[in-house]
Homo-oligomer: A and B are copies of this chain.
Amino acid sequence: TRNIELAVVAGDGIGTEVVEQGLLVLEAALAGSDAKIGTTEFDLGARRWHATGETLTDETLEAIKRHDAILLGAIGDPTVPSGVLERGLLLKLRFALDHYVNLRPNKLYQGVTSPLANPGDVDFVVVREGTEGPYVGNGGAIRTGTPHEVATEVSLNTAFGVERVVRYAFEKAAQRERKHLTLVHKHNVLVHAGHLWRRTVEAVNAEFPDVTTDYLHVDAATIFLVTKPSRFDVIVTDNLFGDIITDEAAAITGGMGLAGSANINPDGTFPSMFEPIHGSAPDIAGQGKADPTATVLSVSMLLDHLGLADEAKRVERAVAADLAERGGVVRTTAEVGADLVARVRG
C-alpha cells in the first residue's frame, strides 16, 4: 500500500463546508485502491488569526511541507483586514511552496447553463504563473493617509520564472488535441514584462513545433471569453491577468461553484496545493448552500497529480454525470457531496 499524507487547510467561510465533502469523495475514490490517505488538519485562517495573531508561522509551514499534497478550501474573512490572510497565508503558501503553475481548467459540462446565449464548445485550461508578476508583494507607500501619499506596486518578472511556466504550458498544449497555446499579456503597454513573455513563448515554441500559438492583449481576451470562448485551448499568462481571466472564464462555464484549480510545483520539491477558485463567501457561509463541486474537481486534479489517473477520471466523471442530471434541483452541500460519493462508488 501507498500512504499519501494530505495537509488539509479548510480555511474560512464555506471553505470548511466544501472541504468536508471533498475529503469524503477523495476517500470514496481511493476505496479499493492500494493508496491510503492520511490527513492532517491545519487550523489556519481568520479563526486562528483572531485567536493568536498568526497567519502562517515558519513551523506550520515546515509541517505542511512534510506532506505529499495540500487540499485548501478558502481563505479570507471580512473581520480580518484585507490582505492580511491573502498575503500572509494563501499567497505565502503559493510562494513558499514554489507553486509556479496555477492550473485552472474551464469546461462547460453538459447540463450546465452558461450565462452566454451561444457558448459553443468550451474546453480550455489556463496556466497562470504563480510566483511572480504583480503578486510578489513588492510595493510600498509613503506619507500614508496624507494628501501626499504615494503608493507603488512592482511587477517582477524573470526569464527563469517565465520560461518554466511557459514550458509547462507548451507541454500541456502538446498533449491536447488542438495543440494551441495563447499568450495573454499587455505587451503594448507593459512593454518590459510583456516583451519578456513574448520572446519566451517564441523561444520555447521551437521545442514544440506541433504547437501553434497566438497572442491576445488581456483586454481582448476578456472579449473573446464572452464572444467566442471555444477559440481557446491552452492559455498561458501572468499571475494577475490569470487571476482576472480565470474568474471570467469560470463565470461563463457555470460559475465559481464549478471551478477547481491546482497550484503546482512541477519539480516535486514541495507539495502541490489544490483548491476551488472561489472565495470564502461569507454571505452564504454556514448555511449548507455552497456547491462543493469545485472542490471535488480540485480533488480530481489532486489525484491526477499523485499519479492516480484512473481515480482522478472516476471523480471527474462523477461530477460530469451529476451536472448532466442535476437540472434545477437545489441540494445542500452535504447532499451534493453524498451524491458524488455514490457516483464515485459506482
Minimum C-beta distance from A50 to chain B (A)? 17
Other A-B pairs beyond A82-B198, A226-B226, 20, CB < 8 Å = A76-B188, A82-B191, A82-B195, A83-B187, A83-B194, A86-B189, A87-B188, A114-B117, A134-B155, A134-B190, A151-B192, A152-B154, A153-B154, A153-B155, A153-B190, A153-B192, A219-B247, A222-B251, A223-B247, A223-B251
Cβ-neighbour of A150 out of B158, B186, B220, B250 (below 8 A) = B158
- A193: chain B residues at CB < 8 Å are 139, 151-153
Cβ-neighbour of A219 out of B146, B154, B244 (below 8 A) = B244
Residue from A139, A186, A191, A225 having most chain B Cβ neighbours under 10 A: A191
Minimum C-beta distance from A94 to chain B (A)? 11
Chain A interface residues toward B at CB < 8 A: 76, 82-83, 86-87, 91, 114-118, 134-135, 139-141, 143-160, 163, 186-196, 198-199, 218-220, 222-223, 225-227, 240, 243-248, 250-252, 255-256
Given A115-B117, A245-B222, A247-B219 in contact, is the A194-B152 Cβ separation under 8 Å? no
Given A116-B115, A117-B116 in contact, is the A192-B152 Cβ separation under 8 Å? yes
Would you list 11 pairs from A and B whose C-beta atoms are within 8 A, ordered by A residue?
Answer: A83-B188, A83-B189, A134-B189, A135-B189, A141-B195, A141-B196, A150-B156, A153-B154, A219-B248, A222-B247, A223-B256
- A255: chain B residues at CB < 8 Å are 223, 227
**Nearest-neighbor residue (CB-CB) of A155 within chain B:** B153
**Nearest-neighbor residue (CB-CB) of A140 within chain B:** B192
- The reply to whether B223 and A192 contact each other, CB–CB distance below 8 Å, is no
Cα distance, A87 to B114, chains bound together (Å): 38
A-B CB proximity, top 5 nearest: A219-B247, A222-B248, A149-B159, A83-B191, A139-B192
Cα distance, A83 to B154, chains bound together (Å): 19
Given A151-B193, A188-B86 in contact, is the A252-B240 Cβ separation under 8 Å? no
Cα distance, A225 to B149, chains bound together (Å): 32
